[in-house]
Structure 1
């Protein structure tokens, strides 16, 4: 009977299979001399004996979840628990302690249940039994499946501790889990019990503090004796040898610890920040370019399963075959919350011994890949991917079974995946051309004219984005020329414009043109490369917002063809030996660059067309799930992975969706792509810095546009400050004096478009949308990568 319960001072890491991760962690804290409330552990031996005695051993998860709370605990186990509880008396906290919990590589945080203020012997037994049942919730089962845990020997211990009547409670991270800085600690606190904070139902107070001095870096908390809490955190980290995630309480002036575990999924520590100096040069950072634009926020679980995980798995396989050292799939796609992932690219490329044989074998395949022509890829895509998209989009979805809908989605994703490698293989020549041609142009016309001339030579590239932008400009021009239409767009929010347009003949004609625009160009993605959020064709108010903003500004200088002709004429007029030698070379290289730029835009549009059509198929399935009372909304199907659509029990779906929705909401906004060199920027509006992306300087008032719903807010001559961009944003560049973006780099979409428009751009600032505010007068230096308040120039 003694092995059914153990006092906390008698347990530690060696007993983890008997007391679980939480119990072992608390025992280790006590052994190291840290203050922990009195308590004991109901061991895994008690759990296993309970299952054997009740005939539940080996039963399916759903049955265990349902029946464990209903079956009496055997007398020998109950007696042991009650005897241990008698040593404490009064209210207790009853917490699950899984054997696969609170580990360095997987926290399993929030997967199992906790009960606070449990008072009385029978209430304690009931709470223990409910904790056991929480081992088999659909959420916990799904989490283990994603982690690849073997459930055959799985067991759960339960920690029972004296209930602390907390005045304050919270969490202390001994490193910053966002920036990765080990010289900072993060404190989150609430008055009273901390369970709501840990579960995410309340936000509480939040502060980042210097680890050595406990001085505030950002935020604030009003917990008394914060220095003592930081000191405890330092000592715990030293004792256990790694950054810690610590839950604490404060009552009657005394701090106590109720949990400590390794801090998982911690970003790579950034280099030390040098002392600020006047006109400080921008820091070097890894540039993930358009990747950060395509997925600025964590993808939905459906995105991960349909295309993200297969794509990264394929890249890892190809790299390993060539002899490169690569991260594992779990290291490349890190789960930071329930269903929320971040993509962590490798810090460096290293060759292994396999490269001696693998690299030569990979050369023919690589050569074939980079020899892909843009015209050849277009033909293959039109005949396969685009044709499949058109057929699926025109299909009568109501006539298809669930399996047929999923089969169509799989066909779309499979075709997309087969074309992706050759798409990237078709672009290196154009990218290299772009890198080389500007120096050649500078040699002919001078450095000061090279940027503008290069941008002019890249004007009016024939592609879907150019056509879409020209169409929206024409619609805005029609509104600007009609006083009644202009009045409607000025007075009405973008979401209400369509209803007002229907009231007049001119409005109905314009509305028909907008609908035609959406049919032609509406596959365009909005905020994120995803099946989880609507594309442009599902959000006509975004198109009306663009028209509203453009129509209220001056006529757009949108004659790209004329600008191209002027730039070509300027290049022809150049004189001298360099001009005679280099001009023919520049023309040929620019044509390669133009073909690649057009291909980049058109092929990207075909990729997002695939996602828009797949979303339509999945929403049909989601609507059926709503009719069957499995989901609350059709869009919720994006919170499931592809395999879960058919494998999860209907009764478990809502719980899984709710947990993932909460985790995703908590993760936004945030980086999906996490560069190893990513720096945390200071929360100081006078020191916004990033990657130089388009040269030049401009002064103007800030306009923060956080997403497409705010397009109509941008006015002519304002500095566009935004978290990300994609091709849907490009018409705004005709109004902006400069562009400042939280994400991306010199190769990202916003940088390319800014260069084509000849306006300054600073990318990858991390913090611009947080520290800059509407109306602030700023100076944007696109060559230096800086944004400064107009009154703070040095």
Structure 2
């Protein structure tokens, strides 16, 4: 019987899979010390047992909606519910609590049913059953379809609470949900019960208050206790780390909370005084961070490298005397296990800078004096050697503790090299800023971009080698009619099986396997141990080959473009050319050396993650054998601290029975965060007047007109056709072979120094990075004009 009901004080915030979003939210409120009416949760175990006992488990949605209210509740379930109800007595509120509701980006608000003033045992059982049926109403099914939710394994819990005699009730938003103002609190209230207000049948009182002072900014003035409500809202927001949508009630002069969930679908924050804003100010350049993590990092990623990296940055800045956010303010949890990084909005010095800044100067000088060749040597001796050794080892032999030690060694070595890696790059970035202007002074602006791109062609690095290799494979396919037919007719996932049927096909497969062995550590979408790298997804390589083979031969002779560029620079005449050409040559060499270092060092970083993933998957496989996890990949949803310490014999520091629930909850939260997520909140990457327009960081000059082709992930590589404008949510070196086909590149994330920008400049095609909204505003087939110098994308025919 204990499996079927849980008292609200015993509910943990991570038990959504058992108690649903509403139940988990109430349990979290109680655990944080906030006032909540007494009650209990009828768990999802009761719902599932009911379905099994009545034979409804595998019935379609429409049938479930109709038959659940008529089906008998099993005695064991009914007895548990009534026993818990006896502890309350009197009228109760019975509220649905779905496992897919009250998440960070999908509230499911109003999709499931609530019953107030329910009195008596039979009435309570009927209300519980009606709540279960509301999981399958047409509106709930349609909402889930719109959100892209998989309904397999879906379940509903039910919250039963003491019915309070409300004098006033309503909702409180700790951020203005319309304007996006983070410094405002919005309260809507009615006399008596608040259900009519929540359901929308009455409008009630509306008041907007200053979050800091509780002074009224707008709206009516008759709602009582607004200062206490504002304080309560601030406290809940601070406790849970994100804006909140609260339902409250006032009874006997006391405020109680009856629901709390993250406030979803917030607009970008509007400036406090729009007229005072500088409308020409460019967006904050956080696109590079978003380019590396356009999707939520897994909890394992956060614990292995994101949190330690941010902590190190904060500690260094604090030691230098800068005002810094706390780690909790910098890494904000927007869902269970889903985080965003919130950079400081301004850099301020404190009194500690008088002593801290001078002490930091020698270390900064040492950091900036790092040479690319010196860093490569250290990395080859330590990081790369360790990766190769671990990757070649038989992972079945080490103990769990030894596997964890390997992961810690990989990440520790990576962390020790990261600061000096960044210290080796500023000279190259400064050279890039200067050399473009100097070339323009010598040959003129109209020729400068093309010449600069030529001088930056064929940079020796792993990305250039990988792209040249895949181009050669695609050329071999293009030259063989039978191989080309296989790639044209077969989905990328099925190509390998067809190639096995012929000798030329098997030879090509061997070339692809060599490519994956040499370059397969490359990440697919994000900097992560939670998703497979290229070597685990050969269908992605076949998708690249499929698209390239059906296009024209790639203009891949970078060495020839480099030679032409050097000749053109040498032939420049005039006093400026004589004075500036030697400087340009030196700066170009610095820029080329830094660009190659950036690509090669990045590849070594992702190699570390690919090898760490392999070790973690072996540990995950063992957890599956011990019935702790359902799949080896689920280990990415745990944090490093939740895996057993070396001296422990247990698999995890969590109770084994709780691991699956923790994983399920975090999976649901990550799934809810996927639409529109980047590691940096979108409101920090764009201006309010960007909505509906596509603007970004100018990344590769020139203009191009062509039809839009949105490629959302690696599975759609083969969709891009020659001459189309590639529009994508993120990019990394795996994507760059597609640039041989694209007329231009437009990316939601990234900046002028991103991989995509560098390769676009080498190919001589326009690129606009960090648009934030291009994949949302544009659609396939639209004719657009991309201006890589201005950072704009306009519909053809609408240019002004």
Q: TM-score range by the shorter chain?
A: 0.7 to 0.9
- Structure 2 CA distance for partners of 1:261 and 1:528, relative to 1, 3 Å: closer
- Structure 2 CA distance for partners of 1:592 and 1:489, relative to 1, 3 Å: same
- Corresponding residue for residue 292 of structure 1: 290
- Structure 2 CA distance for partners of 1:596 and 1:232, relative to 1, 3 Å: closer
Residues in 1 aligned to 2:589 and 2:579: alpha-carbon distance in whole angstroms: 17
- Structure 2 CA distance for partners of 1:590 and 1:353, relative to 1, 3 Å: same
Match of 2:685 among 651, 656, 678: 678
- Corresponding residue for residue 738 of structure 2: 732
Question: 1:227-251 CA deviation, whole Å, 9 max, x = no partner?
Answer: 66977996689764467513499xx
- Corresponding residue for residue 378 of structure 1: 376
For residues 200-219 of structure 1, the aligned pairs below 5 Å read: none
Residues in 2 aligned to 1:396 and 1:180: alpha-carbon distance in whole angstroms: 55
Residues in 2 aligned to 1:123 and 1:415: alpha-carbon distance in whole angstroms: 63
Residues in 2 aligned to 1:123 and 1:484: alpha-carbon distance in whole angstroms: 71
Contact 2:375 2:420 in 1 (8 A): yes
- Corresponding residue for residue 432 of structure 1: 430
- Corresponding residue for residue 151 of structure 2: none
- Structure 2 CA distance for partners of 1:771 and 1:163, relative to 1, 3 Å: farther
Say whether residues 1:245 and 2:251 are aligned partners. no
For residues 438-477 of structure 1, the aligned pairs below 5 Å read: 438-477=436-475
- Give the alignment's Cα RMSD to 1 decimal: 4.4
- Structure 2 CA distance for partners of 1:693 and 1:227, relative to 1, 3 Å: farther
Residue segments in structure 2 that go unaligned for 5+ positions in a row: 1-7, 9-25, 41-76, 103-107, 128-158, 189-193, 210-218, 235-242, 250-255, 645-652
Residues in 1 aligned to 2:202 and 2:460: alpha-carbon distance in whole angstroms: 61
Structure 2 SS opposite 1:783: coil
- Structure 2 CA distance for partners of 1:376 and 1:179, relative to 1, 3 Å: farther
1:626 deviates by 0.9
- Corresponding residue for residue 496 of structure 1: 494
Match of 2:698 among 684, 692, 695: 692
Contact 2:697 2:771 in 1 (8 A): yes
1:330 deviates by 0.6
Question: 1:325-345 CA deviation, whole Å, 9 max, x = no partner?
Answer: 111111111111100000111
Structure 2 SS opposite 1:698: strand
Contact 2:547 2:719 in 1 (8 A): yes
1:633 deviates by 0.6
Structure 2 SS opposite 1:671: coil
User: TM-score scaled by structure 2?
Assistant: 0.73
Residues in 2 aligned to 1:314 and 1:294: alpha-carbon distance in whole angstroms: 19
- Corresponding residue for residue 605 of structure 1: 603
Residue segments in structure 1 that go unaligned for 5+ positions in a row: 6-15, 27-39, 44-68, 96-101, 103-108, 128-156, 188-192, 195-221, 250-255
Residues in 2 aligned to 1:178 and 1:471: alpha-carbon distance in whole angstroms: 51
- Corresponding residue for residue 163 of structure 2: 161
- Structure 2 CA distance for partners of 1:754 and 1:776, relative to 1, 3 Å: same
Contact 1:92 1:163 in 2 (8 A): no
1:158 deviates by 9.3
Residues in 1 aligned to 2:396 and 2:203: alpha-carbon distance in whole angstroms: 63
Residues in 1 aligned to 2:351 and 2:551: alpha-carbon distance in whole angstroms: 61
Structure 1 SS opposite 2:553: coil
Residues in 2 aligned to 1:557 and 1:739: alpha-carbon distance in whole angstroms: 17
Paired positions, count: 648
Residues in 1 aligned to 2:502 and 2:462: alpha-carbon distance in whole angstroms: 31
1:763 deviates by 1.8
Contact 1:289 1:746 in 2 (8 A): no
Say whether residues 1:751 and 2:762 are aligned partners. no
Match of 1:351 among 344, 349, 352: 349
Residues in 1 aligned to 2:531 and 2:385: alpha-carbon distance in whole angstroms: 23
Contact 1:282 1:786 in 2 (8 A): no
Residues in 2 aligned to 1:790 and 1:341: alpha-carbon distance in whole angstroms: 38
- Corresponding residue for residue 269 of structure 2: 269
- Structure 2 CA distance for partners of 1:284 and 1:179, relative to 1, 3 Å: farther
Question: 1:202-225 CA deviation, whole Å, 9 max, x = no partner?
Answer: xxxxxxxxxxxxxxxxxxxx9756
Structure 2 SS opposite 1:720: strand
Residues in 2 aligned to 1:377 and 1:388: alpha-carbon distance in whole angstroms: 16
After superposing the two structures, state which structure 1 stretch, 660-669 or 676-685, moved more. 676-685
Match of 1:591 among 589, 592, 617: 589
Say whether residues 1:762 and 2:768 are aligned partners. yes
Match of 2:777 among 758, 771, 776: 771
Residues in 1 aligned to 2:226 and 2:430: alpha-carbon distance in whole angstroms: 49
1:762 deviates by 1.6
Residues in 2 aligned to 1:788 and 1:183: alpha-carbon distance in whole angstroms: 35
Say whether residues 1:541 and 2:539 are aligned partners. yes
- Corresponding residue for residue 386 of structure 2: 388
User: TM-score scaled by structure 1?
Assistant: 0.73
